[in-house]
Amino acid sequence: LNGRTALVTGSSRGIGQAIAEQLAADGAAIVINYTRNEQPARAVVNRIVGKGGKAIAIQADISKAADVTRLFSEAEKAMGQLDIVVANAGVYIMKPFIESTEADYDYVFGINTKGVFFTLQEAARRVRDGGRIVVISTGGTKMIFPNNSVYLGSKGAIEQFARCLAVELGPRNITVNILSPGFTDTDMMPEEYHDYAASLSPFKRVGTPEDIADVASFLASDAARWVTGQNLQAGGGVISS
């Protein structure tokens, strides 16, 4: 990825952080996006720069369309035209369907769905021909879980966004793919799921953010030039589709 520039939303922690650091290790200049907490984002930038890479941090709340536009504009101003966009930012709540409120729906869909929608729109307008767009979903959309209706509904929608956009951007040789992590050891995974999740994998463990980042790096590379419109399951064998 030498000479390329990547923007990763929600990349100050968790899977987004691991993806940003892996893309940087592969040679890309990185735009770290965060919503509120600047310190972790700066720490990611410092780690990348400390290893000889190039990175900046830009605050933007992707649930706000104006913020998304500003994020891309500031990224281009600082780093030049983008080659790679990873739409990673997301939130999670676990609640029974009938107890989920309008506020819950607006919060989750505002970030996970509306935010990704506008991120993909800006990416489609601005990514260089031959570029890469990766949408982070979840293996949960292939399974049935109680108390996850709002979260899984928000992720199911973005999978359809990506599939349609892959066809629309094909003439520009831009690939658009979905990367769906399985159970991954981040602060978004409920602790009570850990042992159960590990038991479902042939490897008898849950995934790490680095496991997911390696797959994202592949999708961002030239090696994935013939892969588009796909939902790549990275769940340690938990899900077979």
- Sign of CA pseudo-dihedral 176, 227, 48, 206: positive
pLDDT (0 to 100) of residue 22 = 98
pLDDT (0 to 100) of residue 188 = 80
Does residue 190 surpass a pLDDT of 80?
A: no
* 223: phi then psi, degrees, rounded to nearest 5: -65, -20
Q: Taking the CB of residue 44, how many other CB atoms lie within 10 A of it? A: 24
CA angle in degrees (0–180, nearest 5) for 198-204-207: 60
How far apart CA 71 and CA 30 sit, in angstroms, is 13
What is the residue-averaged pLDDT of the chain?
A: 96
Q: Which two tokens stand for residue 123?
A: 């990416």
Q: What value does the mean pLDDT take over residues 201-224? A: 97
How far apart CA 23 and CA 115 sit, in angstroms, is 22
Q: Could you give the percent of the chain with pLDDT greater than 70?
A: 99
* Residue 189 pLDDT level (bands cut at 50, 70, 90): confident
pLDDT (0 to 100) of residue 124 = 98
Does residue 239 surpass a pLDDT of 80?
A: no
Does residue 38 surpass a pLDDT of 80?
A: yes
Burial bucket for residue 225 (CB in 10 Å: 0-12, 13-18, 19+) = exposed
pLDDT (0 to 100) of residue 214 = 98
Chain mean position to CA 69: 18
pLDDT (0 to 100) of residue 192 = 79
Burial bucket for residue 165 (CB in 10 Å: 0-12, 13-18, 19+) = buried
Q: What value does the mean pLDDT take over residues 109-136? A: 98
pLDDT (0 to 100) of residue 240 = 55
* 158: phi then psi, degrees, rounded to nearest 5: -70, -25
Does residue 241 surpass a pLDDT of 60?
A: no
Q: How many residues in total does the chain contain? A: 241
Per the CB < 8 A criterion, the answer to whether 53 and 24 are in contact is yes
Q: What value does the mean pLDDT take over residues 44-72? A: 98
Q: What value does the mean pLDDT take over residues 127-148? A: 95
pLDDT (0 to 100) of residue 106 = 98
CA angle in degrees (0–180, nearest 5) for 176-180-181: 140
Q: What value does the mean pLDDT take over residues 38-57? A: 98
